[in-house]
Structure 1
């Protein structure tokens, strides 16, 4: 899988969460929703991350076929055996795997991206990278509201690895408000995820 040769922040990786059941989308697997570009929704999100991060992992369910989801065969994966229990459980699977990966031993931070957010601006991802630190949580803010992705310094990986259920990482962020940096962005894409099929119409021209 080709990635940019980025010298900036080589010790930060993107973790793309794509193991959810997406029940609100209906019977179809929303990760397979096709954009006019021909890419699947998940593949478009991954391509956006590849443009900013030199390293990434895509989190999938045990039974998922990455090629069927539109991903390149060499896409680095993490399997989430507890994905059925919710986003928190998937995050726990992901960060437990990251902690055991010797290739990532020197990494300072990981940015958690949702697999259904292909409209993020490149500048948003690059600004998050610029503010990465081992003992810092960084998230974007637009129109008075925080959004995604959220970048977690390595100091918080063990807490993420102990999550469960479907709450996600909100409690981790709340416990460490003093180490949380919110960056004002002019990017509405930090709030634009695809929950139901009609949300696809809200994607910017060129994506949908």
Structure 2
């Protein structure tokens, strides 16, 4: 089941300094192609609309992306995740093809093990007025879904803090949902993290 009410935004413009000299986004593992390609493929299983956020000089093909992948270029990526999010949401807000979209799901380009049914579950819960986030074992993870009412505020972000301050400013409109999916917590920051990845053996969300 796919819905066009939510657009998936895969953030992949970071410098990945903890991973070493190799571009983390091109890392191989127990998936087909690159790490970024696998993360995008997981998002596409659940979301009909998607955008991938890259740095201005990135070559999508070298990162394992198809030629027709919808991109947003982050011209200020060196200033941190907040700066990239601001540019991404400015682009989303101005995109006429997304005029009817009610929310955006922020995913990271190094999280290929989130279960499809987790993403579908969150998508069904999304609306324009709330911020949704999955939790596993009491720990919040990704994706974070921002209703369209928050998009304008997201265009004002900067630095490396991401959207945490925005979440803190609106506790009455923030919702967490417990899911039986450790993949929402597992991102690949270092080469050692690759050893923690095992192919998913099924989907389960509660």
TM-score band w.r.t. shorter chain: over 0.9
Q: C-alpha root-mean-square deviation of aligned residues, in Å? A: 1.2
Say if 1:38 and 1:107 are closer, same or farther in 2 by CA, change over 3 A: closer
Match of 2:124 among 106, 110, 130: 130
1:192 and 2:186 matched: yes
Could you tell me which runs of 5 or more consecutive residues in structure 1 were left unpaired when the two chains were aligned: 1-5
Offset of 1:131 from its aligned partner?
0.5
- Cα distance in 1 between the residues matched to 2:159 and 2:144: 19
Cross-structure match for 2:27: 33
1:89 and 2:83 matched: yes
Could you tell me which runs of 5 or more consecutive residues in structure 2 were left unpaired when the two chains were aligned: 202-206
Match of 1:106 among 96, 100, 103: 100
Higher strand share: 2
Question: Which of structure 1's runs of 4+ aligned residues deviate more than 6 A?
Answer: none
Q: Deviations over 1:115-164 (max 9, x none)?
A: 00001011110111011100011100111111111000000001111000
Q: TM-score, normalised by structure 2?
A: 0.95
Local SS of the residue matching 1:55? strand
Question: What is the total number of aligned residue pairs between the two structures?
Answer: 201
Q: Is the 8 A contact 2:30 2:197 kept in 1?
A: no
1:15 and 2:4 matched: no
5 Å matches for 1:1-208?
A: 6=1, 8-205=2-199
Local SS of the residue matching 1:78? strand
Cross-structure match for 1:3: none
Q: More deviation in 33-42 or 44-53? A: 33-42
